[in-house]
Structure 1
């Protein structure tokens, strides 16, 4: 067994007993090792295991073969399997973003969608100790503070990385001992990419100088992470002095201004993550600019930040808010036999007549009837939703829990009729309005604008077959 992985799993409570774990599987050695390892632990530790693979469509037949390989392995091991795909190159061209950045965004959006659908408690990815060292070296080359030198976190929210202290060599030994083959991504041999250059050229030289270089770096990263966690905890105490004013955050400028140099930028990062979608990806120049704003004398100065955010002095207070007026969804009636795309909405809605099946299609909601004309509209104060098998929550609370940026909340449609709410994107249906199997029903599906033309999903459940 992988002792380092077991220790890390226990340290960060990565595998919830009685819960569900979604494992991201590319087909490479790392993810196949993780899937096999988790499969061995599932019965012992009492959790349910699912697997998900995302085809980026970047390597033609090779990408298709990777997906088929993972699907076949899941069928052999009787692991429920979820497949998604997206045209990364087209999405990158359309959005004006890099291929790697776009691939990661589509992949994680797919994983989050599947996790929400199956009720997964955690999403497990196969980043390993070698990946972590490469990440730290890349940050060091580009310039980084302590946060950047702590590498990849073992756990961030419901994202867990059980193999983060396991080396690539240990992973391959694990697979070879069990006669397990894996897929090789041909693009990993191209050292024109910075990470591949580090892996193929630099790290072997470092290990010539010190054969224990990787394990030494792993210890260093762990020590730096401990220091960083302590500083972040101190910063969180400062950030806790802020207060919400509607959808904005306000804190007395003196709390930031008087904080030590190691704490003040971290407190600003914490506040910005609360205001936005949970992202902490802000450059030190952005954070220091906000600290300077708090320490300055101009009572109305402002700083513009990434992601449409801004910081503004309002006399003795520091206001964190958005700098653009949000787009607003315009209400419109639901097309009962076709698709509806409301102006300003992030989601469209398809609707068709059917009989509610015994086994509902993933992502499809079945409603027994509509009272009056159903409409797609923005959320309203007091809107609440009881998802199947879950507690009733206001939509505001659900948006906050899902870390959906407040600018996007008014663009997520609510499907309602004269009897009340039927469903809300991106969450799902109101339990009390669902049809029973065998009833005449309306089949309704929400479709995201960002993925409707680039992402398709196929699902198989091989459990018990």
Structure 2
């Protein structure tokens, strides 16, 4: 009891709590927690509510456990809330694993009880041995970040928080408490089956660790708290650095600079992708793992200038040169921009990424240079001109080079894939490409033997520069 009180005081678990709901299955852990907080309720100045949930997965056995908890509470005048639900059916309807379905139903019930009683906290009976098992399981599975810290001492939940007052003690201490207080908890037969991963760790790994160090649970709890504190600090640093890397951020879509991201220290890169995925997913899918994050870092660190990854729930990571776009599939696979406009002389054509202007002059133009300007004699080009988007197989003739695919020109110029879709192409009356604004002219034209000259200019939207 003294160890539990020290733990509660150290972590201020009940300092602002007036009403606490306790999740009770009827087993030794939860029954001991209920009894302890009920017995010490006047000391902590709290009202206690017991909440018991029957998953209906073990037939009459689980039904008897619910009845046992109800009876236990009635004898001690403890407020009781009970509920049962067909978890197996819920699992089938929602396509979840059995454990996920059970947890979802159980926590939904706990939240309802908390709201009904305006409770400040939900107390759960996870103990030090549970912590060791959880951290080992997650290390083995390849978890990272906060997940490696195992079970949190407290976390936000409903309109309050979840607290775990028993994380500082062992299963053996809890069972001893039950004997001293003459408590007779029920036994869950599923805890004996080695088909569950946790039970295998409990039976095969934990005894070895306790033999090496009887206080191993204290070392793991200390490690858990250290990881949590360090992770929180590094995430703050990562968030600051990430602001310098992002090009754009909208709902369901983030674009970042690859070179700027790669300049971040590796630990901040890893936390940066965690922050990005948390923002995009809101609630990370269970199939998202550290492997996805490693693949993301490999894509951005690769010498190859382009590539893509497909993450769970339709999230696509697409890199093109120095830009990386993370967006959900419905955004990435949208219908390509397609346009085909007639370019009057003089005239203006508004485009998705800028505009092309055309003017005519009777005077010989001053020397105009640059790929954003194209000057030619009316006699040298077949009119009228059109401005269109690219088509598969597009090629253009370039003086001194010959015919080249537009795809290769875009690659050489490191134009991102998304921009290629809306890049303007100027063609003559024969359909031949005469100008790729901002990139290439088809050939040099003589300006000496003309009475009229045409000047085309391309102005790219400022936010695309």
Give the TM-score taking structure 1 as reference length: 0.60
Which residue number in structure 2 is paired with residue 248 of structure 1? Answer: 252
Is the alpha carbon distance of 1:176 and 1:303 closer, same or farther for their aligned partners in structure 2, counting shifts above 3 Å?
A: same
**Residue equivalent to 1:305:** 311
Structure 1 residue 2, shift from structure 2 partner = 4.1
In structure 2, the gaps of 5 or more residues are: 332-465
> Conserved in 1, the CA contact under 8 Å of 2:131 and 2:217?
no
Unaligned runs of 5+ in 1: 326-465
Measured in 1, the distance between the counterparts of 2:241 and 2:113 equals: 36
* Distance 1:323-1:53 versus aligned 2 partners, 3 A rule: farther
- The answer to whether the Cα contact below 8 Å between 1:130 and 1:214 also exists between their aligned partners in 2 is yes
- Once the two structures are superposed, what CA deviation does each residue of 1:12-39 show, in whole Å capped at 9, x if it has no partner? 4332525432221111111112222222
Match of residue 394 from structure 1 = none
Alignment correspondent of 2:372: none
Structure 1 Cα separation of the partners of residues 322 and 36 of structure 2? 55
Deviation (angstroms), 1:164: 1.3
Aligned in 2, Cα 1:43/1:280: closer, same or farther, shift over 3 Å? farther
User: Alignment partner of 1:263: what SS?
Assistant: helix
Is the Cα–Cα contact under 8 Å of residues 22 and 34 in structure 2 kept in the other structure? Answer: yes
**Counterpart in 2 of 1:88?**
87
User: 2:18–2:45: 8 Å Cα contact kept in structure 1?
Assistant: yes
Q: Which residue of 2 aligns with 1:269?
A: 274
Q: Which has the larger radius of gyration?
A: 2
Give the corresponding residue for 1:425. none
**What corresponds to 1:156 in structure 2?**
155
Q: 2:292 aligns with which of 283, 286, 289?
A: 286
- Helix, strand or coil: the match of 2:266? coil
Q: Deviations over 1:44-83 (max 9, x none)?
A: 3333332221111111111001111112222233333222
> What do you get for the CA RMSD once the two structures are aligned?
3.2
Superposed, 1:311-460 pairs within 5 Å as 311-312=317-318, 320-323=326-329
Deviations 1:384-413 (A, max 9, x none): xxxxxxxxxxxxxxxxxxxxxxxxxxxxxx
Does residue 259 (structure 1) correspond to residue 264 (structure 2)? The answer is: yes
Whether 1:62 and 2:73 are equivalent positions in the alignment is no
Structure 1 residue 85: deviation in Å?
A: 1.9
Q: Which residue of 2 aligns with 1:166?
A: 169
| Cα distance change, pair 210–11 in 1 and its aligned pair in 2 (3 A) | closer
**Greater mean alpha carbon deviation, residues 171-180 or residues 86-95:** 86-95
Shift of 1:292: 4.4
SS in 2 for 1:273: helix
Flag the structure with more relative contact order, 1 or 2, with Cα contacts below 8 A and sequence separation at least 6: 1
**198-207 vs 175-184, greater mean Cα deviation:** 198-207
Q: Which deviates the most, 202-211 or 161-170?
A: 202-211
Distance, in Å, in 1 between the alignment partners of 2:51 and 2:193 is 26
Distance 1:94 1:18, change over 3 A: closer
Alignment of 1:10-49 (within 5 A): 10-15=9-14, 17=16, 19-49=18-48
Which residue pairs with 2:134 in the alignment?
A: 135
